[in-house]
Chain A
């Protein structure tokens, strides 16, 4: 694991005027990093700023920006705990006021988006600024189905991308995340996923969302949806379990922010037949496992929807919310092995994806549907709280 002692800086604080912003860029190809530097130059021409990069051969000869190297952390599709520790240590060393963390492919972020992230944490007294990407439809579906609605319902945070790979952090937020990262490292979980929004809400810090426009989102090396869903959802469930005392307090969700972003046009309609077929197969074979997790009412509803034609297939928002909550409860209670639990969730998630594609194909915008799903999660939160406190009551 990288430690702060190994970080060597090419410049010293004494040689330059004090910087107020640190930009930490993940390892990326040289041409991508050059693109990031160009955008940073354009966005922060007037500010003093330090760029810390994990690139081994950072070409900074022609750039007026101060570029310092940091040890690489194998960041591919999400920020690693080491990134947060490095960011905080470098920021403290250079005495900056805020940090902007950029993931791989950050050259596709506009200067305006970079500026927005930095301004939020430098000037607007925001502790955590998350970007709101304009992604093509049917992209980031795990986020739309589970991560966003669950985070919004439990932590009353409207961030559309809670697991964003680009972040703006105040110093106290960076310190908090570095402490959380050190905890995971001490537990030998160097590849653990940190949930910045949940941490910020737990600490009582302010969170805001910045329009970031379109972005090339890096894809996980693990292309299998089964493994990916288990990894991300399992991590989120574990974090929710750890922060139960926080999210059970009643909170008011901030009002919906008016976004100026242009909605990306819908692409070709995806084929839902194979997803519905996967759900049907699971419905025929996994009843024994689902019945340990889901209440009878949900099982009956799922059975009813399993006979619907693929083109007319829909999973109601409230049923999906109830399913996710019941799986979360089962995760907490260890009703069955957690690996099995996540595996049993996959066909249900595919059913939701099929339903989402059908809804958007019928004319409803994807964002409208996702917002209604999130609203259903919020409306059903009392059920989750009740079962969390009194798990033996199987109220449906």
Chain B
């Protein structure tokens, strides 16, 4: 910062105490203003560079969503007009629910295909427009283009987690495992943690930390489940292995130690 001493004031009043070093306010404001203007200019330049891409992204989604709605409506009308469901049901001998009839499925497929197409085109347009402004560093922008893949990964991961959790829960309940819910939750979180790690890796966020945290969490959950199953299901596992050995033939073999009451029940 530039500092100057006012000599005129010192000459006019020599009896006065010396005035401390003074800052030139005008000059400071001038420089601050310059800095702000330059910053604003940079941001505005970036926005101008990226804004068409953002606008193109939203316009593409909007246009293709509207197109999808129109195509879906037309498809639904035309398939209903030719009685597509009835013809197909007659040919395949299958009864369709109103919410999942072939016509409805075709209409939905066409709509979502259009939306997805619009999304791809939008992202592509955004990517192209961003490439022109890469000289201006804004760290969040690269993630936007990866966001679509990350969302798909997250969606698939949540679906798989839910499916596996239900499978484990039902199987464990039918095997009369008392801690079925814990087992199911363990499997669910195992998959969710794996999904979260994959999503973060895809977004290139905190790579080393995520890998480390994922390893610790995943290992911890596996160890917990292994201990739970190993300690809690020894009897179940040994019974299962024994029954497999004994039921190696095609015909039912009822073990000798089975109570007579159990022998008297035949489900088929």
Q: Which residues of A contact B (CB under 8 A)?
A: 76-77, 136-143, 183, 217, 219-221, 223, 225-226, 228-229, 232, 241-245, 267-271, 274, 277-278, 281-282, 285-286, 289, 332-334, 336-337, 339-340, 343-344, 346-347, 353, 357, 391-392
Check B166 against A289 for contact (C-beta < 8 Å): yes
Check B170 against A286 for contact (C-beta < 8 Å): yes
Residue B262 CB within 8 A of the other chain? yes
Residue B14 CB within 8 A of the other chain? no
CB-based nearest B residue for A78: B268
Q: Which residues on the A side are within 8 Å of B99 (C-beta)?
A: 333, 391-392
Contacting residue for B268 out of A232, A285, A392, CB 8 A: A232
> CA of A219 to CA of B97 in the docked complex: distance in angstroms?
36
Contacting residue for B169 out of A183, A271, A286, CB 8 A: A286
Check A285 against B173 for contact (C-beta < 8 Å): yes
Check B170 against A289 for contact (C-beta < 8 Å): yes
Check A141 against B265 for contact (C-beta < 8 Å): yes
Number of B residues with CB within 8 Å of any CB on chain A: 33
Q: Which residues on the B side are within 8 Å of A232 (C-beta)?
A: 268
> CA of A143 to CA of B95 in the docked complex: distance in angstroms?
24
Check B176 against A138 for contact (C-beta < 8 Å): no
> CA of A243 to CA of B93 in the docked complex: distance in angstroms?
7
Q: Which residues on the A side are within 8 Å of B251 (C-beta)?
A: 219, 221
Given contacts A141-B267, A142-B268, contact A344 B170 (CB under 8 A): yes
Check B266 against A219 for contact (C-beta < 8 Å): yes
Check B259 against A271 for contact (C-beta < 8 Å): yes
Closest 3 CB pairs of A and B: A244-B95, A343-B170, A271-B261
Contacting residue for B261 out of A269, A333, A336, CB 8 A: A269
Q: Is the interface of A mostly helix, strand, loop or mixed?
A: helix
Residue B41 CB within 8 A of the other chain? no
Given contacts A223-B252, A340-B166, contact A334 B265 (CB under 8 A): no
Q: Restricting to B206-244, which residues have a CB under 8 Å from any CB of A?
A: none
Contacting residue for A241 out of B95, B259, B260, CB 8 A: B95
> CA of A339 to CA of B170 in the docked complex: distance in angstroms?
10
Q: Which residues on the B side are within 8 Å of A274 (C-beta)?
A: 176
Residue B167 CB within 8 A of the other chain? yes
| New A-B contacts (8) at CB < 8 Å, excluding given A271-B261, A282-B173, A339-B167 | A225-B267, A242-B94, A242-B95, A267-B264, A269-B264, A282-B174, A285-B180, A391-B97
> CA of A289 to CA of B169 in the docked complex: distance in angstroms?
10
> CA of A274 to CA of B252 in the docked complex: distance in angstroms?
21
Check A143 against B268 for contact (C-beta < 8 Å): yes
Q: Restricting to B156-171, which residues have a CB under 8 Å from any CB of A?
A: 163, 166-167, 169-171
The 8 A CB mask of B165-200 against A (1 = contact, 0 = none) is 011011101101010110000000000000000000
Q: Which residues of B contact A (CB under 8 A)?
A: 89, 93-95, 97-100, 163, 166-167, 169-171, 173-174, 176, 178, 180-181, 247, 250-252, 259-262, 264-268
Q: Which residues on the B side are within 8 Å of A357 (C-beta)?
A: 265
Given contacts A219-B252, A223-B252, A333-B97, contact A340 B266 (CB under 8 A): no
Q: Which residues on the B side are within 8 Å of A282 (C-beta)?
A: 173-174
Q: Which residues on the B side are within 8 Å of A241 (C-beta)?
A: 94-95
Check A281 against B170 for contact (C-beta < 8 Å): no
> CA of A339 to CA of B174 in the docked complex: distance in angstroms?
13
Check A337 against B267 for contact (C-beta < 8 Å): no
Contacting residue for A353 out of B163, B167, B180, B265, CB 8 A: B265
Q: How far is the CB of B267 from chain A (nearest CB, A)?
A: 5
Q: Which residues on the A side are within 8 Å of B174 (C-beta)?
A: 226, 278, 282, 343, 346-347
> CA of A172 to CA of B89 in the docked complex: distance in angstroms?
24
Given contacts A285-B180, A340-B166, A343-B171, contact A140 B266 (CB under 8 A): yes
> CA of A141 to CA of B268 in the docked complex: distance in angstroms?
6
Q: Which residues on the A side are within 8 Å of B166 (C-beta)?
A: 289, 336-337, 340
> CA of A241 to CA of B95 in the docked complex: distance in angstroms?
6
Q: Which residues on the B side are within 8 Å of A270 (C-beta)?
A: 261-262, 264-265
Contacting residue for A340 out of B97, B167, B180, B252, CB 8 A: B167
B99, B169, B178, B262 — most chain A CB neighbours (10 Å):
B169
